[in-house]
């Protein structure tokens, strides 16, 4: 297998970049025939999210024409970012030259022509720290958004300069950011059949990626391994955890030392979570009692269609998507101007966040050349990937979780309290209602404060391998809103210290 890697050694000084010998065509295929009949609705929802985050993807998907020159073979090389790294934590802070920073592609053997792109940052503390995989949601959002705006080593500023993130998760882990599904970010293919339509296809690709990654980085293969992510990654994460766990049992490929998986403000069990929309909106005083009654009535149809979707798939899932999204749309129409990802904030027009700098930064010619991606364009949010996954939205991946927690694989479900789209109430309900041997004991477990610097930063409960944490003063993106709390959450959880056993009971 051809391995494509580039080592990212970041310096404060500016320099010139070496030229790539080959480039790919910038033409992106537009082919809607493979998508479902609800593509128009899902495309509207994708466009809405692009506007929410003020993203500027130049293309709908990274599918290059067949027969185009492939991306240049990447070789390990030194390079500078064109913008300076702010030495705000200096003197005495870490030097960027001390750490292994990598980026590159791995081909996916069972795909037609897919190449999956990743960033990998070795721990600022110790290479023996756990390996953490981060997956962003969407579906179709590049994990680079989390890298630069949430929990990566660097933060990106308005002037495109980068500064150290004091609470980057690389302080306590060796962290991977993967652009997935294929067609998102810098990940690409020349065969449109490589676009995935369900969490099974996405998780299969990710499992192949991890096998290739650990084959190349055997020194990390025995480290503890954790899967993390947020939002729609709540679909991918249980599927990937199940694949890894079963692969280990069957002694397939390189053993991956899976210890746990964490889902932040995730969409996991749509039947339960869509039922919580009206209750959450009423609790937050966003809607009237009559609005709540109307939503409850609408949910009856939504619930039936979700059940049918999970039994029969296909067109049943199209119908569920259409009807159930009316529930969230009704609430959004009642609170126009309010940020549905963080109810404390207002939107300017349709823009609720400004993440546009990541498109500008990563699409600079010298940055693309430095990363070795040639003329592959960075796609921050892929409409086509979103459309392709439409029939997967109402599928319930929670069914894969009980076997994992029964086998001692730790699960952390956390949620910022001000997100409405994947709100904490819906997440807490599916966790409480999940059928496993510890369900009763988890339900009766005490709720205790999650403390950061002696102050309450959230409320949590746990039993056995399962922990739920409601994070205070945070919306959909907890690591961005509460960086210190999220770092301590991750650290304590991986150390087995995020426990309610010794905390004071709340309520």
Q: What is the average pLDDT across 41-67?
A: 66
Token pair 């493979």 is found at: 34
Residue 226's nearest CA partner among 114, 368, 123 is 123
**What's the confidence (pLDDT) of residue 4?**
43
> What distance in Å separates the CA atoms of residue 437 and residue 440, rounded to the nearest whole number?
8
Task: Name the pairing type of β-strands 410-416 and 258-264.
Answer: parallel
Q: How far apart are CA 469 and CA 214, in angstroms?
A: 31
Residue 62 lies in a domain: yes
- Quick check: is 319 in a domain? no
pTM, entire model:
0.88
Model pLDDT, residue 370: 78
pLDDT above 90 (res 262): yes
- Say if strands 225-230 and 174-178 run parallel, antiparallel, or are unpaired: unpaired
- φ and ψ at residue 183, rounded to 5 degrees: 105, -10
pLDDT for 503 beyond 60: no
High-pLDDT (> 70) share of the chain, %: 80
CA distance 170 to 412: 19
Number of independent structural domains in the chain:
1
What's the rounded Cα separation, in Å, for the pair 171 and 122?
A: 9
Query: Confidence class of residue 177 from pLDDT cuts 50, 70 and 90?
Result: very high
Q: What is the pLDDT of residue 499?
A: 76
Instruction: Point out the least confidently predicted range of 54-63, 249-258, 421-430.
Output: 54-63
Higher pLDDT, 5 or 223: 223
Q: Quote the pLDDT of residue 112.
A: 86
Copy the structure tokens of residue 254. Answer: 């390189």
Hey, which residues does 327 pair with through a beta bridge?
A: none
Q: What is the pLDDT of residues 374-406, one digit of tens each?
A: 888 898 888 888 888 888 999 999 999 999 999
| Whole-angstrom distance, CA of residue 281 vs CA of residue 388 | 30
In terms of average pLDDT, the best of 5-19, 43-57, 89-103, 224-238 is: 224-238
Q: Is the pLDDT of residue 333 over 70?
A: yes
Residue-wise pLDDT for 412-468, tens only, equals 999 999 999 999 999 999 999 999 999 999 999 999 999 999 999 999 999 999 999
At 83, is the pLDDT very low, low, confident or very high (cuts 50, 70, 90)? very low
**pLDDT beyond 60 at 335:** yes
% pLDDT > 90, the chain: 57
Residue with tokens 């053993």: 255
* Residue from 203, 231, 428, 486 carrying the catalytic annotation: 231
Q: Are 132 and 173 in contact (CB under 8 A)?
A: yes
Question: Catalytic residue among 419, 463, 472, 486, which?
Answer: 419
Q: Which of 11, 46, 59, 34 is nearest to 375 (CA)?
A: 59
**∠ at Cα 62 (61, 68), nearest 5°?**
140
pLDDT above 60 (res 21): no
Q: Which of 17-31, 58-72, 274-288 has the lowest mean pLDDT?
A: 17-31
Residue 308 lies in a domain: no
pLDDT at 30 over 80: no
Tokens (6 digits) for 263: 């889902």
pLDDT of residue 40: 60
pLDDT for residue 420: 93
Binning pLDDT at 50, 70 and 90, where does residue 328 land? confident
CB atoms within 10 A of CB 336: 8
Can you give the three-state secondary structure of 345-397, one letter per residue? Answer: CECECCECCCCHHHHHHHCCHHHHHHHCCCCCCCECECHHHHHHCHHHCCCCH
231 is known as an active-site residue: yes
pLDDT at 199: 87
Q: Please report the pLDDT score of residue 42 as a whole number.
A: 59
Handedness of CA 375, 379, 380, 385 (dihedral sign): negative
Choice among 173, 476, 481, 486 that is catalytic: 476
What is the tens place of the pLDDT at every residue in 491-502? 999 999 987 654
Band the pLDDT of 59: cuts 50, 70, 90.
Answer: low
Which CATH number do you get for residue 152?
3.40.50.1820
Domain range for 180: 4-268+350-392
The string of pLDDT tens digits covering residues 92-140 is 444 444 456 888 889 898 988 889 999 999 999 999 999 999 999 989 8
Q: In the structure, what pLDDT confidence band is assigned to residue 224 with cuts at 50, 70 and 90?
A: very high
Contact between residue 320 and residue 271 where contact means Cβ atoms under 8 Å apart: no
Q: Who wins on pLDDT, 191 or 325?
A: 325
Predicted confidence (pLDDT) at residue 162 exceeds the cutoff of 70: yes
DSSP letter, residue 119 = E
Q: What does the DSSP 8-state code read for residue 151?
A: I
Asked if the structure places residue 432 within a domain, the reply is no
> Residue 218 above 50 pLDDT?
yes
| Residue 192 within any structural domain of the chain | yes
Helix axes 270-283, 289-312, angle to 10 degrees: 170
Residue 61 pLDDT grade (very low, low, confident, very high; cuts 50, 70, 90): low
Is 19's pLDDT higher than 90?
no
CA distance 115 to 422: 30
Active site residue 419: yes
Query: Does some domain include residue 185?
Result: yes
Average pLDDT value over all residues in the chain? 83
**What angle do helix axes 270-283 and 424-433 make, rounded to 10 degrees?**
140
Residue 231: pLDDT over 60: yes
Residue 275 lies in a domain: no
Question: Is the pLDDT confidence value at 237 over 90?
Answer: yes
């Amino acid at each position: 297998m051809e391995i494509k890697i580039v080592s990212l050694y970041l310096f404060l000084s500016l320099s010139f970049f070496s030229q790539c010998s080959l480039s790919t065509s910038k033409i992106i295929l537009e082919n809607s025939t493979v998508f479902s009949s609800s593509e128009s609705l899902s495309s509207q929802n994708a466009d809405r999210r692009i506007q929410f985050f003020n993203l500027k993807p130049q293309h709908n998907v990274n599918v290059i024409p067949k027969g185009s020159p492939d991306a240049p073979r990447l070789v390990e090389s030194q390079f500078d970012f064109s913008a300076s790294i702010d030495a705000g934590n200096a003197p005495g802070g870490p030097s960027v030259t001390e750490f292994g920073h990598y980026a590159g592609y791995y081909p996916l053997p069972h795909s037609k022509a897919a190449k999956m792109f990743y960033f990998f940052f070795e721990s600022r503390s110790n290479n023996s720290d756990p390996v953490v995989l981060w997956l962003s949601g969407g579906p179709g959002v590049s994990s680079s958004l989390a890298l630069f705006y949430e929990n990566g080593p660097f933060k990106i500023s308005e002037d495109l300069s980068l500064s150290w993130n004091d609470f980057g998760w690389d302080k306590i882990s060796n962290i991977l950011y993967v652009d997935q599904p294929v067609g998102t970010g810098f990940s690409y293919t020349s065969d449109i059949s490589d676009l995935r339509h369900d969490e099974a296809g996405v998780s299969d690709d990710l499992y192949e990626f991890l096998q290739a990654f650990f084959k190349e980085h055997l020194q990390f293969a025995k480290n503890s391994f954790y899967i993390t992510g947020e939002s729609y990654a709540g679909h991918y994460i249980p599927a990937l955890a199940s694949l890894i766990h079963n692969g280990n049992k069957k002694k397939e490929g390189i053993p991956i030392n899976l210890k746990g998986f964490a889902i932040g403000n995730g969409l996991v069990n749509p039947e339960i979570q869509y039922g919580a929309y009206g209750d959450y909106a009423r609790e937050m005083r966003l809607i009237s009692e009559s609005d709540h009654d109307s939503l409850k009535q609408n949910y009856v149809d939504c619930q039936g269609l979700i059940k049918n979707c999970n039994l029969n798939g296909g067109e049943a899932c199209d119908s569920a998507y259409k009807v159930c999204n009316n529930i969230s749309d009704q609430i959004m129409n009642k609170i126009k101007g309010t940020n549905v990802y963080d109810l404390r904030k207002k939107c300017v027009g349709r823009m609720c966040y400004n993440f546009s700098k990541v498109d500008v930064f990563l699409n600079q010619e010298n940055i693309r050349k430095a990363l070795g991606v040639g003329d592959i364009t960075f796609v921050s949010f892929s409409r086509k990937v979103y459309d392709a996954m439409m029939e997967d939205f109402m599928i319930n991946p929670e069914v894969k979780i009980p076997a994992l927690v029964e086998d001692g694989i730790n699960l952390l479900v956390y949620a910022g309290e001000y997100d409405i789209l994947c709100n904490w109430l819906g997440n807490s309900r599916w966790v409480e209602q999940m059928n496993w041997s510890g369900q009763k004991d988890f339900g009766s477990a005490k709720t205790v404060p999650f403390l950061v610097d002696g102050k309450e930063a959230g409320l949590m409960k746990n039993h056995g391998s399962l922990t739920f944490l409601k994070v205070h003063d945070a919306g959909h993106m907890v690591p961005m809103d509460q960086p210190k709390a999220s770092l301590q959450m991750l650290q304590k959880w991986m150390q087995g210290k995020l426990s309610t056993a010794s905390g004071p009971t709340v309520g």
